[in-house]
Structure 1
Amino acid sequence: MSKAAGRLKTLKKVVDKVDHSSKLRTNIPAGMAVAGPPLGPMLGQRGINIAAFCKDFNERTKDYKEGIPLPCRVAVTSDRSYELTIHAPPSTFLLKQAAGIQRGAMYPGKETAGKITRKHLFEIAQIKLKDPPNALLTLQQMCNSLVGVARTCGIEIVNELDAAEYQQFLEERRQVVEEQRRELQEKREAKMLRMA
């Protein structure tokens, strides 16, 4: 038994240490990476030079409109260097931008928050296919996935869209959103009164 235990100890010394740290997954606004919270502490825990990372990220995203949320994956190596992968903006963000709305539907199956055409859907699918996780999907599969995301946001997909008619729809939608905000505020205030 002692020979086997001795061999096991030497074998453990030979095997390299395996790094089990997970990739950092976060959304960072384009061109707005700063050393402060929440990004700074996340990078600091992994031993990444925060100032160098922010400078690198802002340089790589200078072509994007400032403030667009970009999903990022950061893999840290043992020598504290990192590999930064920047994906296209999230599907929900692109769909809401195409529909011209700020927020999705509060009750997705019962109300329509906005409308987009099939052409918009096709263009967004082509953008999202460039992301590494979607590399093996076909255009048809990506479009079907986006249809599901649009449904959960309350965005209706139509063949054609009349500009004047859609503008009127958006005006009516603004009133509905204001009503929902007031309703939510009243619920919050009522909850605060119960807790006090």
Structure 2
Amino acid sequence: MSKKVVRVMKIQFPAGGAKPGPALAGAGIQMPKFCTAFNDQTKDRMGETVPVVLTIYDDKNFDFVLKTAPTAEMIKKACGIKKAASDAKVTVATLSADKLKEIAEYKMQDLNAIDLEGAMKIVAGTARNMGVKVEGLDA
């Protein structure tokens, strides 16, 4: 017999840095158990923000799925900028075509794209909205 799902949460924590607190307070799970499991699985991704889909069952057990780092965070890191432009018409950095492809390949599993070219278009759209010019694609 399968367990009954009570709740599905989407939250983000720094890799290796989850700790009991307000983000998990309403989940109804054993927070230290989740934090230990999450931190163990993400210790090799230090410096990244890791989105996680947390499925909570009626018996207070849980499962979680780790996702790839947010696209905007990866673009900022690749361009060496701290903050994106508040207006997309202002260019704050340039992203090389190689870096664009690298980010798209990494993000492919979490994107709604059929192929790498589609994933690259999604990442390029995010970059443009952040005020980042993409080499080889922007006029």
Q: TM-score, normalised by structure 2?
A: 0.88
1:64-143, aligned counterparts within 5 Å? 64-66=45-47, 68-109=48-89, 111-131=90-110, 134=111, 137-143=114-120
> How far 1:147 sits from its partner (Å)?
1.1
SS in 1 for 2:60: coil
Cα distance in 2 for partners of 1:129, 1:89 equals 11
1:26 alignment counterpart: 11
Cα distance in 2 for partners of 1:31, 1:143 equals 28
Aligned residues: 135
Q: Could you list the runs of 4 or more consecutive aligned residues of structure 1 that deviate by over 2 angstroms after TM superposition?
A: 134-137
Q: TM-score, normalised by structure 1?
A: 0.64
1:149 alignment counterpart: 126
Cα distance in 2 for partners of 1:120, 1:32 equals 27
In angstroms, what is the RMSD of aligned CA positions?
2.0
SS in 2 for 1:130: helix
Report Cα offsets for 1:10-38 as digits up to 9, x if no partner: xxxxxxxx65x4411011111111112x3
Q: Is the 8 A contact 2:113 2:119 kept in 1?
A: no
Larger Rg: 1
**With CA pairs under 8 Å and 6+ residues apart, which has the higher RCO, 1 or 2?**
2
Report Cα offsets for 1:94-143 as digits up to 9, x if no partner: 0111111000012111x111111100000000000133xx3762111111
Cα distance in 1 for partners of 2:63, 2:130 equals 33
One-letter amino acid matched to 2:88: P
> How far 1:46 sits from its partner (Å)?
2.8
Structure 2, unpaired ranges of 5+: none
